[in-house]
Amino acid sequence: FGSSPRFWSVTHACIKISRCMDRSSRKVIRASGCLSEPDRSFIDSIDLAEVQGMLEAADGRPRDEPLRFPRPGVFRKGPRYCWLRCVGGLAKLISCRCRKPRDWENPKILSRNTLRPHSFLQEAGGRPLLDDHGEILPEVPDPKLRLDLSGPDWKFKYFNGKSPQDEKEESYAGREVQDSSWSTAPVPSNWQTQGVETPVYTNMAFPWTSIPIIKPSFKRNPFAVYRRHFKLPGTFLLENRQVRVVLHGVSAACYVWLDGQLLGYHQDSGQPAEFDVTSIIASDSVTAEHVLAVQVLKYSDGLYIEDQDTWWLNGIYRDVTLYSVPAANVIQDYRLYTKVDAPYDEGADAEVHLDVAVSCTKPCFVRCVISDGPTVMVEKQEARSSQAERELAAMFGAESTVFQLTLPVKRPAKWSPDTPKLYTARIEVHCDEALVQVENWNFGIRDVRISEEGVLRLNGKPLKVHGVNRVEMSGVNAKAVTDEETLNDLLIMKRHNFNAVRTSHCPNKLSFYHFCDQLGLLVLDEANSECHGFAMLAAMSYLQCAPGWQDAYLKRVTAMFGRDKNFTSIIGWSLGNESGMGPAWQTSADWLRFCDHTRFVQFESGCAHGDATLIMGDGQHPATDIVCPMYADPERCIHIAKTDKRPLVMCEYSHAMGNSNGGLHLFYKVFDDPQYPTVQGGFIWDFVDQGLKIPLAPNPKGPQDYWLDGNYGYGGDFGPDSGNGDKWFVCNGLNNSDRRPKPAMEECKYLMQSIKMSANMADSTVTVSLEDIDGRPLENLLLKWQLTGELRNLVGRGNVSLHDPKSQTSISLSAPSSEGGLWLKLHVELASDRKFAPRGHIVATQTVLLRAPAPAIASRQPVQCAGTKAPLSKAKATSEAEAGAAAIIEHNGDVAMVKGTNYTAVITAGVITEFKDSSASPLLSPAHGLLVDHAFWRAGTDNDRGGADVFFPFLKSVLPRSMISKSLEWKNAGLESMVSRVTKFSWSESVLTVQSEHGPKGKSYFFSSTVAVNFSKASVSFDIQVSPNTSCCCNAVSKLTSLARVGMRFVLPPQYSVVSWLGCGSHESYPDRKASSFWDVHQKTVEGLHFPYMVPGECGGIADVHWVALQASDGRGLLVEYSSDDAPAPKEIVTAGKPGARPAGMIGAQVSASRWTPQVAHAAMHNHELIPKDQKAEDQPIVLHVDTSHAGIGGTGGATDAVWRFYKQYLIDPKTPEWNYRLVLTPLAPGELSLASVSS
């Protein structure tokens, strides 16, 4: 904080003062017993105003530089803090009588004998570069400077049932230990993925019993020992060199030995452990064999603040490297940052600032050269040095000698997600006219600041954060994520128009940041801190306020900054996640702001009241630069924007668990609304499902040697101790565990595209308008367009190169004459290769309906769906017109035989029991009971299943209805087991009128229906009216808060697997997630409609359907046309709505087709369980649902009334008086409905 002794003393005293409850009372301070006698005397002489002035003057910012970020508020020591502090004080008093804690149970011990966190030099490697096509260039280590110790041949032994104190270290750490009988394990890896122990998943709870209210302790602490035998290459430089070994990631804690000598101890699984091994290496001959031994502990007190929503895994999960640097006059660390002149835009000049900490033993100088490829832009050398002062002391250590250089750069290209331009800084240390050391660093020039209006800006422009949270996890390798897997994740993000990623909830491996710098992804770097388990005790901030844990938080933050400070892609620091709020946070935030005034600091766990947090933060604490709430809905975002003048970037929103992310388009209505410039986006939770493939034992040979036969599993799948409580809550990503994007990724890509397109047609001229709403030039792009008709027939197509330096342009196209519906499909593609995608990659897309098809029903009043006649062949259309007469019907008691021109049917007591085409092939199947039936229930989505009953199942019988999940509510009511009973039927010529009741067996009915079935010669129409039974006050339906669906279910034989439709598509869509699903004519197979979510449920839906056809490969099949003359559904709003007869914005039927019933899908706990092993999917009958009303899927990870507040406009009101709609079934012969296959 400062170089003068007085300043250090004042700062030291202020820190101690701040730990007291009453800062204003010196009597309390003196009596507290936390200060020594010299400190007490010193405090008596303190002028508090002088202290405040000194602190403000030493914030690390030059006096002539304008503030990049407004000065934040501070933590308030209110009643919540006082309560937690008193509990901590009592715990401290009790713990004084306990035994002396071991390192892994002592929160004050984070490491022993490790080197100070620093930016890793190029000698340490780990800097992968990408070529122009986004491929990783092979990194060849210099054998004179570096030896990679990672590999498959580490000796490994797991000591189960023991703790470190139970085993003498000579038995596993010594140089002469006989380890030939030990098994082997790869490094990096987690031992759970090697068949040693099973992984454990918990969301909040600690997987052990002790809670450190008194003192952290572990009754049993299993451990494993890794041993690596190695020899140094003959060319390895040792003379006048310092040799270091670095373990980049170990969980949970480790002791390290080299050649039997203890190097030290380390915890904080997200940061490296680095040791100086020069004396040990130099004492042996060059040809000697060395042994590196690492004892990895399963538990440590550090895990109390690593209680993150992910798997508990152990092992050396990142690389291990041995490297050397010069022994004297060596670069200890450096910081490189940039300043851009006002107005901070592309044309502004900039300065590159370089601070280099050197361990000087002789006079030396530092030289820096900034270059763009082979072109030198500027160079400078600095011979003057000084002892570190102000923020440099906090960053490099008070003993460091620091060289400071400032290099002006004229009008440099600025780094941004769209143009991630990198320059190279060559840093040289010269001593005695000799070049001692060279360090090269690739960096970008960019400016991040918050304007006076409270808008977060990048290079002078408002920044919209299209972000996603990413947990560093591989479905196969667990935490040991490879560079190739890391790059693949980032490419998926870029190709779906994401521009930002949050490192949830731990700093990532170094290659991640190098890739982000090169690809252009903004990073919110998050410290390895979360203690969510304490929220279960209403004491989230306990450790933040406990005096013994202050350093544990601060050192995690300083380690993150020390390692990652030079990466251009990092635009902000996050102090952790769900960790409460207290003095530890304030200290960490102050330290970061002191050392880095080029990035913002945020923390979601604080609350607007400024005091300690007990259960959950709201992201609005006065001390955070960015308002960063979790799961705020659009209405709350608007409210915050009106009352808080800071930028709002949600740290988590739109929970992507299973079939989810409904309502995302409404967030983007707010993000794009100029009325709310401070609402600037957020980070979706999260990127990928964290399912794992886990072997049953070491050395698996095939799928049979894995849990679940090699399929991905979640909590509880790997035995009863692997996380039965939270189960698949670990699977809430936008991508499956195998990185297959879910349908919601298409929604993200569309909403995040910056190029917006529209079109209109006048006569035969189509005018297309394009605009990049972020103001980027429309250049180096290719616009492809297609005109298609109702049969997907190609009417016209063409390409237009875009080379417009402006952000807006318009293009005129000529449309050939055609009849019927006409659609314009627009794709904007890359015209050349980029690092994140090849030429031809689609960056923006739009489909515009230029001419609507003719409606099926004519109405002067707006209706829910006027329907559309399917584009049947002319011969079929003519025969339909001629065959409008009634079918032939023969009655035999309650049985009626119906014969049309293209079908036959049998009706028994008002129920269709047989329906065949003209060739006597069944069109409907009795495989699942009734051929045609009403439907009111769906297989639960993960949002349907989310409620308080999931987290507290023992309370589900007493929880109020507003707190339980939709699925449980529907199940308790009996909707899952509804049956239909015909109460009355009658014939009037060719019209059958059927009245039915629908409800669970043995209970009063929930719904009544009246269906008029008209059998004409060519088709069968169903005029349907459904009403809820509200006459009985004890009827469960009257107590429901919502319904899942109202519609009809048909069962078809297996061969009718080709699905064509007019509606949203071609990917999965629902009433609240269909912005990217364009209303057009589409075609897929039944298998293609299904998406293999981790846990099956409602999926494969198609929104706003007017007609759907299921056909066999020869064209035979069944066409279903939908219409409804009910009033239109309400329009969507960005504020909280209410349930209605239909979800807001629904303009057609909701359709799905699958090989199983909703009951089967709901009961299956994994996708591979949907079809029995001894059966084939293609042999299963097809279940077709056509719903006149279908609930949205939601997007906040739960289904209670409170969580669904924003999504209520997409729910179905069970008290709706009635639903009316019409279905027309038409058998299809070969050639009667044939869609063209149109290529892009």
pLDDT of the residue at 27: 44
pLDDT of the residue at 161: 79
**Of the ranges 322-326, 717-721, 1182-1186, which is most confident?**
1182-1186
pLDDT tens track for 722-749: 987 889 999 999 999 999 999 999 999 9
SS3 (DSSP) at 565: coil
Q: Which helix (H) or strand (E) holds 55?
A: helix 48-57
SS3 (DSSP) at 431: strand
- How far apart CA 560 and CA 566 sit, in angstroms, is 11
Distances (CA, A) of 175 to 172, 179, 515: 9, 10, 39
Query: Average pLDDT in the 517-527 region?
Result: 97
Contact 111, 104 (CB under 8 A): no
- How far apart CA 1019 and CA 880 sit, in angstroms, is 8
Query: Average pLDDT in the 1109-1132 region?
Result: 96
Ramachandran class of 280: left when φ > 0, alpha when ψ lies in -120 to 50, beta otherwise? alpha
β-partners of residue 300 are none
Q: What angle do CA 781, 782, 784 make, to 5 degrees?
A: 150
pLDDT tens track for 581-597: 999 989 999 999 989 99
pTM for the whole structure: 0.93
Start-to-end CA distance of the chain, whole Å, equals 61
- How far apart CA 1069 and CA 1057 sit, in angstroms, is 19
pLDDT of the residue at 66: 62
**Of the ranges 699-703, 961-965, 1154-1158, 1198-1202, which is most confident?**
1154-1158
- How far apart CA 813 and CA 807 sit, in angstroms, is 20
pLDDT of the residue at 28: 39
pLDDT of the residue at 101: 80
- How far apart CA 1098 and CA 940 sit, in angstroms, is 6
Q: Which residue is it, tokens 């308008």?
A: 769
pLDDT of the residue at 948: 76
pLDDT of the residue at 958: 78
pLDDT tens track for 25-77: 344 344 444 445 555 555 455 444 444 444 444 444 444 456 677 777 888 88
Cβ-in-10-Å burial (0-12, 13-18, 19+) of 818 comes to: middle
Q: Which of 390-394, 573-577, 798-802 has the lowest mean pLDDT?
A: 390-394
Question: Radius of gyration (Cα) for the chain, nearest Å?
Answer: 34
pLDDT tens track for 386-437: 665 666 877 888 777 899 999 999 999 999 999 999 999 999 999 988 899 9
pLDDT of the residue at 1043: 95
SS3 (DSSP) at 42: helix
CA atoms within 13 A on the CB side of 892: 7
pLDDT at 142 over 90: no
For the chain, what percent of residues have pLDDT higher than 70? 91
Sheet holding 808-814, edge to edge: 755-762, 765-772, 808-814
Q: Which long-range contacts (CB under 8 A, 24 or more apart) does 708-714 make?
A: 708/1166, 708/1168, 709/1168, 711/1166, 711/1167, 711/1168, 712/475, 712/736, 712/737, 712/738, 712/1094, 713/1166, 714/201, 714/690, 714/1094, 714/1095
pLDDT at 12 over 70: no
pLDDT at 1095 over 60: yes
pLDDT of the residue at 390: 61
CA atoms within 13 A on the CB side of 828: 25
**Paired tokens of 407:** 């290099």
pLDDT tens track for 1048-1085: 999 999 999 999 999 999 999 999 999 999 999 999 99
Residue 1167 pLDDT grade (very low, low, confident, very high; cuts 50, 70, 90): very high
Contact 846, 826 (CB under 8 A): yes
pLDDT of the residue at 500: 98
Q: Which of 85-94, 105-114, 148-157, 644-653 has the lowest mean pLDDT?
A: 85-94
pLDDT tens track for 1189-1217: 999 999 886 656 666 778 899 999 999 99
For the residues of 731-753, what is the DSSP string, one character each? Answer: ---SB-TT-PBPHHHHHHHHHH-
- How far apart CA 1199 and CA 1211 sit, in angstroms, is 11
SS3 (DSSP) at 712: coil
For the residues of 275-339, what is the DSSP string, one character each? Answer: EE-HHHHHTS-TT-EEEEEEEEES--GGGGGEE-SEEE--EE-S-EEEEEEESSSEEEEEEEEEE
Mean pLDDT for the chain overall:
89
Contact 529, 575 (CB under 8 A): yes
SS3 (DSSP) at 78: coil
pLDDT of the residue at 86: 81
Q: Which residue is it, tokens 């059927």?
A: 994
Query: Average pLDDT in the 200-204 region?
Result: 92
